[in-house]
Structure formats: structure tokens, C-alpha cells
A and B are shown apart, each in its own frame.
Chain A
Amino acid sequence: MTRAEADQFELSIHARLLSGDPTASAELFENYQAKLVNVLTQVLWQRDESFVIDAATDALFEYIQKPSAYDPEKSRLFNYLLMAAKRDLMNAVSKKVAREKHEIITNIVEDGESDRNNVLEAVDRRVPDETRQVRIMYGRELGLKLMQEMSDPADRAVLALLIENVRETEEYASVLGITHLPAAEQRKQVKLHKDRINKQLERFGKRFRGKAN
């Protein structure tokens, strides 16, 4: 579909939805559902495909049920749907991460202090690793946006390692220039740095979601 054809399709499908054409909704799904899923997967780096499919599907239903909420003068229909799908995806992922955190806390309380080693093992199995959390919650797009705002090259390098799924402390110690320190101190410094960046991501993610809403 060329740009001109897409524009024509969007104007026509919007008008048909407003007039109650019964096949317009199905035609919109046929033309835009897969496209939305593809774009969301590329820009948000979301590995859980079901989240992406649901977000794209929900955005389409939301529009179909209330087409008058879209103003063709303001944006292209596909961009409008993409924004709605991104917002849905972020909300769904945030809820999932919050739920998982809650489950983990509950497990720790239920299992008790005496069984601490087993608890830690259980936690390790269930908690997504830091990189996965970064990917799930903030995605490639947010990670890259935040990176552009970071002035400290060391912060940018740490964020790049997080996004690239690097787990070895030595790698982080190397970009932070602390390889001369004892191993325990390196671990401590790396953890502090990662925590700080995760906090920044969290704040940045909230700001982004605020804009999307």
C-alpha cells in the first residue's frame, strides 16, 4: 500500500465506520492489525508477543467502537492507533510487573525467614532479570530516548549494557572505570549505579506514559 493509497484507505474506512458500514471494522482489522503488531514489536522491543497482539487488538476495538474520537485533521489513523496501542501496552506491562513484584513479596512473607536460601532460589526463578525488566517496562524506544537525555557517558554505557542483556559485573566495572577496586567493592558500585539508572528509567517511563495519555 503506497502512502497515497493508505491515506485514501484511512479516510474511506473512517467515513464508513462513522456511517455504520458493517464490514468496515473487519476490513480495518485485515489491513492494520498485523501492521500494528509488527511496528509495536520493532519499536518497543517487547518479547511477550501476546501483550503486543492484545494491545494492537484493543486499540482497534476502542477506535471501532468510538470512531468519532479520532480527528483525521490531527493525525493519520495509523499513528493514532499506534499511540493508543502503545499506551495499552505500557499499562498492561506495568500491571504485570507490579503483579509479579507483589507475588514475590507474598512468597517471601509466606515462606518465612528460616527457609531463606530456598526463598532466594524461588525468587531468582520468578523474577525477570534486570535487562528483561528494562525491556518489558521501558522497551528499546524508551531506553534509547533516555540515553539521548543522559549527559554522563558512564551512565549511557551502563544503560546500553542493561539493554544488551549483559549480566557480568566485570563488563559494568570496566565501563565505570573501577576494575582496580576489590571484587566486592566493584559489585557494590555496579549495583548502586544500576539502581540509580533503574530509578531514572522508572521516572522517565512515568513521564512518557503521562505524555502518551
Chain B
Amino acid sequence: MEKQTSERLLARAFERAAELPSFIAGDLLLYASLNGMPATGVSSFLNCTQSGFYRLGLCKKPDPLSPLFRFQVEKIASYAGADAQRLGRLLRETDSTRAMQATNPAQLTSPAAGFLMAARDKETPPNAADRPRKRSAKTKRKKKKQ
């Protein structure tokens, strides 16, 4: 009974946390929506209990660009009883989705597209041919004359 009450309270806090960008709760819900699954689907994906899922959502979100990211993800996963590798993947995916939404919302046609674009950014080494070429001094002078 006490466990139920405490879980209900944590669920309420999880809802609030989902509105605050510094908590993981929002990322868990975003991941569920990107993959068209209910929140319970995310807890199954992360191999954690319902209570663990709520506690996970109440943890502060580690920065994927920080050198401590992996260490912090492992710490969070161990605390909430979740799969650390999957949690890390989930957080990287939601982070890049958010970044893309912020730069160009129209680019994001589907959750899958978001994931693929994030993966491509990560895996493909920057190709010189894809980089915008620097204008030579000659071209610049030519352009000025026109």
C-alpha cells in the first residue's frame, strides 16, 4: 500500500519533471513519441520497473557533449535499475532530435528521419567534398567588381 502511494507520488513528480528541460523525464516521453510507443514501452526497452522509470525521469539529464556523459549515464542507470547502453542511446537520440527541431523544425518529417539524420551526423566522417569551399581571393575580387 505504502509502495503504491509512493509510486503515485513519484508519477506526479515525473509529470512535472517532463515539463522541465533539465530532467530526463521529458526525454523518455519524447523517445516514446518518436517511436510511437506508450511510456510503458520505454520502461520495457530500458529493462526497468515502473518505479525505476519514474526515478529515472527525476534524474538530471547528463550532457551528451560532456566527457562525463558515459560515467553519468552508468550512474543513473545503476540507480534506476535500467540498461545503461540503451539509456545512453536514447539520450543521444532525443538530444539530436531536439537540436534539429531547434534549427529547422521542417526538416524533421518523421521520428525515424530524425534518428537517421542523427546517426549519419555521428557516423560519417566529414568529407572534404561536402564542405562548403572557401572562396579564393581571386573569386572574391571578381565578385566585388560585379
Binding site for B on A (CB under 8 A): 20-27, 29-30, 33-34, 37, 53-54, 56-58, 60-61, 65
Contacts and interface: CB of A to CB of B under 8 A. Distances in A.
Contact of B59 (A25, A37, A54, A58): A25
Contacts of B80: 23, 26
8 contacts: A21-B60, A23-B60, A25-B60, A30-B55, A33-B10, A37-B9, A57-B9, A61-B16
Contacts, number: 59
Interface residue SS majority, chain A: helix
Interface in B83-121: none
A34 B9 contact: yes
A57 B61 contact: no
A20 B63 CA distance: 11
Interface residue SS majority, chain B: helix
Contact of B20 (A20, A22, A29, A61): A61
Contacts of A26: 55-59, 79-80
B23 A25 contact: yes
Given A25-B23, A26-B80, A33-B13, 13 more contacts: A22-B72, A22-B75, A23-B75, A23-B76, A24-B60, A25-B60, A26-B59, A29-B13, A29-B58, A33-B6, A53-B9, A60-B13, A61-B20
Interface of B: 5-6, 9-10, 12-13, 16-17, 20, 22-23, 55-62, 72, 75-76, 79-80
Contacts of B59: 22-23, 25-26
A199 to B, nearest CB: 36
Contacts of A21: 60
A185 to B, nearest CB: 50
Nearest to B58: A26
Contact of A34 (B5, B20, B72): B5
A25 B55 CA distance: 9
Contacts of A57: 9, 12-13, 16
- Among B23, B60, B76, chain A packs the most CB atoms within 10 A around the CB of B60
Contacts of A60: 13
